[in-house]
A and B are shown apart, each in its own frame.
Chain A
Amino acid sequence: MKAIYGLYGDGQSAQQAVNRLRAVGVTDREIVVISAQPMEEFEFGHMDSKTRIWWIACLGGLIGMATAFGLAWLTEMSWPINVGGLPVFAWWPNLIIIFELTMLGAILATVITLVVTAGLGRRSGVYDPAVSDGKILVGVENPTESRVRDLESALSAITGAQVKAI
C-alpha cells in the first residue's frame, strides 16, 4: 500500500492540514486522520461520525427479549412444575430472565456493531507509531502519481510538519 502523510504536533495544525488537503481537491472520504485520543474539539474529529449503533443496540435488546420469552415459555410449558401455586408460566419471575437477556442482547449487539463498523480485527491501512507519542497523522492512502506533488506541498505547508511517503 502507498500513502503520503504528515505528522503534526497538535490538533490545530492537523486541522489546517485537513483543510489544505480539501483545498487541493481531496475528498473527506480519502483523507486519513489518526490520533492517540478522540479529537472532538476539532472539525476533523467528527468526520464519519454518523452511526446507527444505538438503533442496532435496541434491536439486539429486542432479540434478547424475544429469546428470553421463548426460552421461559418453552421450558415451563415443556416441563410444567407447580411452584407455590404460581401459574406454570408466571410473568413476575420470568420478567427477571427477560430483563437480563434483553440487556445481554443490547450489549452483545453493541460490541458486534463496534467491531464490524470500526473495522477491528481487519488489515489496517497507513499508520505511524509516532501517533502513540501524541503526533496526529493526516494523509492520503494510495494517491495517484499525478497528485503526489500537490499532496506533499499541501501537507508540508504547515509549520512543524513531518511529511513521509511510503
Chain B
Amino acid sequence: MNQISHQRINSDLLRPLFQTSWRFYLLVGLFGSVVLIALVAWLSQAYFGFGITGIRWPIYWGFYVTNFVFWIGISHAGTLISAILRLVDAGWRRPVTRCAEVITVFALMIGALFPIIHLGRPWLAFWLFPYPSERLIWPNFRSPLVWDFFAINTYLTGSVLFLFLPMIPDFAVVRDKATGLRKRIYGVLALGWRGTPKQWHRLESAMSIMAVAIVPVAVSVHTIVSFDFSMAPVPMWQTTIFGPYFVAGAIFSGIAGLLIAMALLRRFLHLQEYLLPIHFQNLGKLLLVMALLWGYFVFNERLVTYYGNEPSEMAVFWRTQRESFAPLYWTMVIGNFVLPVVLMGIKYFRTITGCVIASIGVIVGMWLERFLIIVPSLGHKYLPYTFATYRPQPVEIIIAIATFAAMTLLYVLFAKFVPIISIWELKTGGPSERMGPTRQHSSVGPVLLDRPRD
C-alpha cells in the first residue's frame, strides 16, 4: 500500500473521532433518554418490589431471563466470529472484526445486568461471588448459576482484552493526529506504542493465543447458559440437545446483530469503501448456514419430544405448536428459518438490504425462541397446581426495550471515540484482502477499490 492509501484510511476512519455532527447528539439524547426511563423503572421495581412485575409463582423467569439469554447469545457475534476468522486467517475479516468484538463486550455487559435486575434485593448480588459469608457459607459450586458467574466473567474479561489489544496501535494513530487534551488521553491509551517489529510480533502472538482461548470459552458460556435450563426438571428443558442448540442459536443471532450494526455503520459513518457488499454476502452465507443448523436442531428437539409422548412435555409441545403460544412460535419459525433461508439462499436477494431484512427477522425470532423456551414450560409443569399464565408488566417491557436503546447508545459512543474499523489491520491486509475471497483472485480487484460502492 502506498502512502496516500495510508493517509486516506486514517482520514476516513478517524473522521468520526474529530468531527461531531448533530446526529450524534440526537442519537445520544434519544437513546440516553430511553435508558434513563428504564433506570427509573428499575428503581421503582427495587422500591415497590416484584409485585409491579408480571413475575410470580410458578413463572419466575419471564422477560428478564429471556433478555439475559438473548443478550448473552448476541454477544457471540463478535469475539467468537472474530476469533474463528482470525484463526483461519480470513483476509476479508479485517474491516469486520472490531465492529463484531464491540457487540460482544456491550451485549455481555447488558446481559450480565439481568441476573441483578432480576433480584428482589439487587444490593445483595455479591452473594453470588465465590467467597464465604459471615456464617462461612460458600456459594454452591454445583449450581449452574455459579457456573454462569465464572463463565460470563471469564468471557467478559477475555472479550474486553481481545477488543482492547488490537486497539492499542490505533490509539497511537489517534495520538499522532490529535492535539491538546485529546492527544494526552489517547497517548495514555496507546501505552507508549511505537510499532517496532518486536511489538507487532508480541501483539500478533498474543492475539493468536487469545483467539485460541476465546473460542472454547465462548462455546462454554452459552452451553452453561443452556445448563440453567437443562439441569432443571421442567418439561422440555431436560434435554441433552440444549447445549449445542443454544450455542448455534447464539452464533446465529450474533451474526444477525453484526449484519445490522455493519449496515448502520456503513450508512451513517460513510464507510462504503471499507464495509463492502462482499462482507455482507460472506456473512449472509454464514447466516444461511446457521439458519439451516437452527432448523435442524429445532426439528431434532421437536421430533424426539413428539416420539417420547410424555404427557407433560406434550402439553407444552402443543401449547407452542397450535394453542396459545402458536402465533409466537410460527413467527419465530418464519423469522429464524423461512426468511433467512429464502433471502440468503437466493443469490439475487443476498444484498445489503436483504441481509438486514433477514437479520431483523432473526433477531425477532431468536428473542421469541428464548421466550418460548422459558414461559410455556414454566407455566405448565407436571402437576395442575403449577399451571399458570404470564403477562409482562410495563416495567419489564420498558426495561426490555431499553436494552436495545442501551446497546445502540453504547455503540454510538464507542464509534465516536474509537476507530470502529481496525486501522492497522486494514493497512496490513492491503486492497486485495479487503475485497474478500471472491475478489481476491480478480485482476481488477485493487482498481475496484477506488470506486464508491453500494
Judge whether B141 and A38 touch: CB under 8 Å: no
Q: In the assembled complex, which residues on chain B have CB atoms less than 8 Å from the CB atom of A76? A: 138, 141
Residue B78, interface by CB 8 Å: no
Which residue of A96, A119, A120 contacts B150 across the interface (Cβ within 8 Å)?
A96
Contact A9 B3 (CB under 8 A): yes
- Set B3, B6, B200: member contacting A45, Cβ < 8 A: B200
With the chains together, A100 CA to B147 CA distance in Å? 9
A103 interface residue per 8 A CB criterion: yes
Inter-subunit contact A83/B201 (CB<8 Å): no
Please measure, in the bound complex, the distance between the C-alpha atom of A127 and the C-alpha atom of B195, giving whole angstroms: 9
A10 to B173, CA, bound (A): 18
Whether A75 touches B157, Cβ cut-off 8 Å, given contacts A99-B220, A107-B210, is: no
Return the CB mask of A128-142 against B: 1 if under 8 Å, else 0. Answer: 010111110000000
- Is B177 in contact with chain A by the CB < 8 A criterion? yes
Q: Say which residue of B146, B150, B206, B216 sits within 8 Å of A111 (CB atoms).
A: B206
Q: How far is the CA of A96 from the CA of B108 in the complex (A)?
A: 19
Q: Given A97-B150, A104-B158 in contact, is the A9-B2 Cβ separation under 8 Å? A: yes
Inter-chain CA distance A39–B424, complex, in Å, is 11
Q: Give residues of chain B (255-313) contacting chain A, Cβ–Cβ below 8 Å.
A: none
Tell me the B2-24 residues at the A interface (CB within 8 Å): 2-3, 5-7, 10
- The answer for the CA separation of A132 and B293 in the assembled complex, in Å, is 44
A-B CB contacts (within 8 Å), total count: 185
Q: Which of A19-27, A47-55, A145-153 contacts B (4 or more CB under 8 A)?
A: A47-55
Query: Which of A54, A121, A129 sits near B209, CB closer than 8 Å?
Result: A54
Contact: A103 with B213, CB < 8 Å?
A: yes
Question: Is B142 in contact with A90, judged by CB distance below 8 angstroms?
Answer: yes
Q: Bound state CA distance, A83 and B6, in angstroms? A: 61
Most buried by A among B141, B146, B203, B425: B141
Evaluate contact between A47 and B198: CB separation under 8 angstroms: yes
If A93-B142, A101-B150 touch, whether A38 touches B204 (CB-CB below 8 Å) is: yes
Partner of A103 from the list B7, B158, B169, B176 (CB cut-off 8 Å) is: B158
How far apart are the CA atoms of A49 and B31 in the complex, in Å?
A: 46
Q: Which residue of B lies closest to A56 (CB)?
A: B209
Contact flags (1/0) for B169-204 with A, using CB distance below 8 Å? 100110011000000000000011111111111111
Size category of the binding interface on chain B: 35 or more
Given the known interface contacts A86-B142, A100-B217, the answer about A118 and B203 at a Cβ–Cβ threshold of 8 Å is yes
Q: Shortest Cβ distance from A161 into chain B, in angstroms?
A: 14
Residues of B at the A interface (CB closer than 8 Å) are 1-3, 5-7, 10, 130, 132, 136-143, 146-147, 150-151, 153-154, 157-158, 161, 165, 168-169, 172-173, 176-177, 191-206, 209-210, 213-214, 216-217, 220, 224, 424-425, 427-428
Q: Could you list 26 examples of A-B contacts with CB < 8 Å? A: A37-B200, A37-B427, A38-B424, A39-B200, A46-B197, A51-B205, A93-B147, A96-B150, A96-B151, A96-B220, A97-B146, A97-B150, A100-B220, A101-B154, A104-B158, A106-B209, A107-B210, A111-B210, A119-B199, A123-B192, A124-B194, A125-B194, A129-B177, A133-B10, A134-B6, A134-B427
Known pairs A81-B140, A96-B220 / 8 extra A-B pairs, C-beta < 8 Å: A9-B3, A36-B427, A44-B197, A104-B157, A133-B6, A134-B3, A134-B6, A134-B427
